[in-house]
A and B are shown apart, each in its own frame.
Chain A
Amino acid sequence: MEPHYEALEDENTLELPSEPMRLNMGPSHPAMHGTIRMVLELDGESIVDVDIQPGYLHRGFEKSCERGTWNQVFPYADRLNYVSPMLNNVGFALAVEKLIGLEIPERGTYYRTILGELARISDHLTCNGASAMELGAFTPFLWLIKVRDWIWDIQEQETGARLTHSFGRIGGMAAPPTDGFKESVLAIFDEIDHAMMESEALLLKNRIFLDRTQNIGNLSQEHAIAMGCTGIILRSTGVDYDVRKAYPYMFYDRFDFDVPVGHDGDNYDRFICRFEEIRQSMSIIRQALEQMPKSGPVSCDDVRYVYPDKSDVYNTIEGTIAHFKLVMEGLKPPPGEVYSFTEGGNGELGFYIVSDGSGTPYRVRCRPPCWYNLQACRDMLLGDMIADIIPTFGSINMIGGECDR
């Protein structure tokens, strides 16, 4: 049927109003996981401007750290990036150890490496799975989350908790590896490989997935560097900055692994880089399991910083005193300030800590990788369509706990 227009003077009457429309997205929008709010200026469906407003998950991490002992920071650090808590635990422990100048036994460092890389794998599996799910592919999500659950089983076997381990300690780890540690880690690797291959087979030749990720959410190299991006976001633009390679900490200089980089800095590159990084992490874990000493302590025995054995506490006066001092006053690093950084799940996770020589941190600053990555999200979104927010925001892997602290 022909449309019927009454009082049609001339063609101009049909023109639609052209001022941009303002739209609120979030904070409780299903795609804004991690609770952030975006205020969009839209021209039709394309994004003219966007104001990203984080802060809905702010719980005062840095302030809370200033009222406990140094060891009491670990539970808070767990909740920064709750998808890979072990990396945060180890990152904070390394910072305080740098401040003290503490060396931990080789076995403990390998143990940290392996648990940390397992956490990295689970982080990337979650992000890629969720990104695919938000584009309508539910099956890869289920497969990837299934293998992530097995990683969590190993973490539970080692630490006693699936998500918030609080397993790191200043000067080592809370407990040595269990007996079947090596076997149980190696047992799931084939399954992870298999799940990733199956997911790639479903996604990487899928027209819908490719159309919604390739050339969407582009970020240029110069912008990424100037905005302070790190991690996958920076590497997907072609910059090969990985803290593990650039400034090797722990024993990362002993392992043979590659740093995957992208080319265009779009959603597709970020997706591919994450999967490739999982494979590299598995290779690191294999090498670390080979090199790890079969026996020996995982914590150093400096009683000024590390709790003595329980049998010593109950049977010797030195042990009792050391335990009492550590519990009542906390360990006391020398006065000073250090910045220590590791490669977290999303990029450079830095801890800048200031000590005044007392048992309480004077200032703990967490340099959250998500914070700077999310800031660059505006550059990625401008000019794209409103539907592109979902894959782009998903590929940033914004973790509210870390971003808002």
Chain B
Amino acid sequence: MSKKIIDRLQKDHGDAVEETSDFRGDHEARVKAKSWKKVALWLRDDLQMDHLIDLTAVDYPEREPEEPRFEMKLFVRSTKTNERIRLATRVGDGEKIDSLVEVWRGANWAEREVFDMFGIPFEGHPDLRRILMYEEFEGFPLRKDYPIDRTQPLVAYRKVEGTDKLPPFGPDEGQPWGRIDWQKRLDGEEVQVSPSIGVQSGDRKALSTGPEHGE
């Protein structure tokens, strides 16, 4: 971490810097949320901070309502000069923040994770989806007000368009036993699979109606 970078930041972007700190050799500069991307671009282009190390957030719910709730943290280093810096900014609940994917491509998954875990939306992110959790997950697990023992509702089977199997894979495909309802077959009914399977696969017709009905 380097003090020089903090000094240059204060010289070039003095109006954006809110606070700087130095604790155990870790230099950090907190900037205004609206200059987040501008400072990041400046770090990359003017200071050759080309190596994205990490991007994460910390939740301080007690700061509300005077101060925004989340604190975003960005860790970058330069492969040329080996200098490091930690950049921070504050974002409120539901407020958008500029995405840094255009600055460092590696921010893509990091921002998706922050979105997934904290629910901070990123403006201009190319593909903002949940990444560690599944789509139907309710809430944001790393927020302090998410209880660690909360149970999630069961997720129903997803309906995916265009994945219906075509013949010759019939309703009994993948079912090792018990798939034919023999009573129905003997009665000569059209749907001959046992009810449990029939419901799952939409009561499709049996492909084979048995040897005696062949041809």
Contacts and interface: CB of A to CB of B under 8 A. Distances in A.
Contacts of A371: 109-110, 113
Contacts of A64: 148
Nearest to B113: A371
Interface stretch (A152-160, A183-191, A294-302, A346-354): A346-354
Interface in A265-313: none
Nearest to B50: A225
Interface residues of B, number: 32
Contacts of A17: none
Interface string A212-233: 0000000000010111111000
A227 B75 contact: no
Contact of A226 (B75, B106, B132): B106
Interface of A: 53-55, 58, 60, 62-64, 66-67, 98-99, 101, 223, 225-230, 239, 241, 246-247, 336-339, 341, 348, 350, 352, 354, 362-363, 365, 367, 371-372, 375-376, 404-405
Contacts of A352: 54, 56, 73, 75
B24 A60 contact: no
B206 interface: no
A interface, by DSSP: helix, strand, loop or mixed?
mixed
Interface string B131-145: 111100000011000
B169 interface: no
A339 B75 contact: yes
A239 B23 contact: no
Contacts of A376: 106
B105 interface: yes
Interface in B119-163: 131-134, 141-142, 146, 148
Interface of B: 23-24, 26, 50-54, 56, 58-59, 73, 75, 79, 82, 86, 104-106, 108-110, 113, 117, 131-134, 141-142, 146, 148
A279 to B, nearest CB: 25
The 4 lowest CB-CB distance pairs between A and B, nearest first, are A228-B106, A55-B132, A227-B106, A228-B52
Given A63-B141, A354-B58, A372 B133 contact: no
A50 to B, nearest CB: 13
Contacts of B146: 63
Given A63-B142, A99-B24, A350-B75, 5 more contacts: A55-B131, A226-B105, A337-B26, A338-B23, A339-B75
Contacts of B23: 336-338
A365 B141 CA distance: 14
A371 B53 CA distance: 11
Given A63-B141, A63-B142, A227-B105, A98 B24 contact: yes
A101 B51 contact: no
B171 to A, nearest CB: 21
26 contacts: A54-B131, A55-B134, A63-B141, A63-B148, A225-B50, A225-B79, A227-B106, A239-B79, A246-B82, A247-B82, A337-B58, A338-B26, A354-B58, A362-B58, A363-B58, A365-B56, A365-B58, A367-B53, A367-B54, A367-B56, A371-B110, A372-B52, A372-B106, A375-B108, A376-B106, A405-B132
A99 B24 CA distance: 7
Nearest to B103: A226
A309 to B, nearest CB: 29
Contacts of A405: 132
A156 B26 CA distance: 36
Nearest to A247: B82
A339 B51 CA distance: 16
B26 A339 contact: yes
A367 B58 CA distance: 14
